[in-house]
Amino acid sequence: MQDFKKLHVWKKAHQLTLMTYKITKSFPKEELYGLTSQLRRSCSSIAANIAEGCCRKGKAEFSQFLYIAMGSASEVEYHFMLSHDLNYLEEAHYKQVANNISEVKRMLSSLIGKVKK
């Protein structure tokens, strides 16, 4: 068992979640139970699955939770793309968040590789 708060990927995922909450505050009110809720849920799921995986027994279980986190990161990536296409998100914010998502996905992929060895 390791302390998830020491993992760089968890820190980055947590920062992405905080950024997501900040960005979605400006989304239309009619999206509160739609896109806003979905983005917040799927984004927080990335860091939550990393944390949960750290407390599991073996490498196989940890790896499984990292894959789930990767799936959530892809879900967030799509929802931000949709938000941008619906003009809920300015280009500059979209590029910033897209870069952060890509970094989290790369870090997850690297950690998955290390855990599976």
The answer for residues whose C-beta is within 8 angstroms of residue 64's C-beta and 6 or more apart is: 53
Angstrom CA distances, 31 to 39, 84, 93, stand at: 10, 14, 18
Distance, CA of 25 to CA of 34 (rounded, Å):
13
Q: Which CATH number fits domain 4-116: 1.10.10.10, 3.40.50.700, 3.10.580.10, 1.20.1440.60?
A: 1.20.1440.60
pLDDT by 10-residue block (mean), the chain, 117 residues: 90 98 96 96 98 90 96 98 96 96 98 90
- pTM, rounded to two decimals: 0.93
pLDDT recorded at residue 1:
60
Q: Six-digit token pair at 31? A: 């999206």
Q: Could you give the CA distance from residue 61 to residue 53 in angstroms, rounded to a whole number?
A: 7
